Amino acid sequence: MTATATLNLGLALVHAPVINRRGETIGSAVTNLDLHDIARAGKTYGVDTFWVVTPYQEQQELVGQIVGHWTDGHGSKAASDRAHALSIVRICADLEEVIEQAEHQYGRRPLVLATAATPRANPLQYRQVRQRLWAGEPLLLLFGTAWGLAPQALELADASLPPIQGNSEFNHLSVRSAVSIILDRLLALEVEQ
């Protein structure tokens, strides 16, 4: 693996359909921190597109305003590296639209992988996914907000990644942290120490 390798890797931050703490299907709010931190992590690791998925028009407009400020507005002059990172953000109303856009972008349907804090059906190990990604297979990672992806979102995935496990029983990372950890597990370059 080299730092200049071209990958076909996208990720989607899903705000609907997701579940709340009671397991009910809901839509969650977009947060400024998620947009910035995930775009920066994505750009660092070679993600080519970061889809923000929300069916709510007001939330879509908010994403557009935030991204526009940093890519075209005053923010682009004040922090050009932030503009570079946020340039990978795209807004979609639903996951079907994301998968369609990814298929068009990559020339074939990507392997769609769900992420979750608990084990899911049809898991692929990080090593397997890394090999497929570096062999040129397009990949789309799905991350859920709130308490995770709703069943109807999980149904669109081909497989899942194992959950991130720490050294305690507590397991409720922010989605920003989970994205960074998973990208590092899949894409970190070997570094001599």
pLDDT digit string, tens, across residues 51-83: 999 999 999 999 999 999 888 877 666 767 788
What residue ranges do the domains of the chain occupy?
Answer: 9-187
Q: What is the pLDDT of residue 171?
A: 78
The structure tokens listed for 25 are 């299907």
Query: Which residues are bridge partners to 12 per DSSP?
Result: 51, 142
Give percent above pLDDT 70 in the chain.
Answer: 93
The alpha carbon of 131 is separated from its chain's Cα centroid by a whole number of angstroms, namely 19
Q: Which of 106, 161, 114 shows the shortest CA–CA distance to 138?
A: 106
Average pLDDT, the chain: 92
Other beta carbons within 10 angstroms of residue 175's beta carbon come to 21
> What is d(CA 81, CA 88) in angstroms, rounded to the nearest whole number?
12
Inform me whether the pLDDT recorded for 5 exceeds 70.
Answer: no
Per-residue pLDDT tens over the stretch 77-136: 676 778 889 999 999 999 999 999 999 999 999 999 999 988 888 899 999 999 999 999
The CATH superfamily holding the domain 9-187 is SPOUT methyltransferase, trefoil knot domain (3.40.1280.10)
Write out the two tokens for 159: 């497989």
pLDDT in the model for residue 73: 76
| Predicted model pTM | 0.93
Answer whether 99's CB lies under 8 Å from 140's CB: yes
DSSP string across 92-103: ESSHHHHHHHHH
* Sign of the C-alpha dihedral computed for residues 14, 86, 190 and 187 taken in this order: positive
Q: Which residues contact 100 (CB under 8 A, 6 or more apart)?
A: none
CA atoms 89, 93, 99, 103: torsion sign: negative
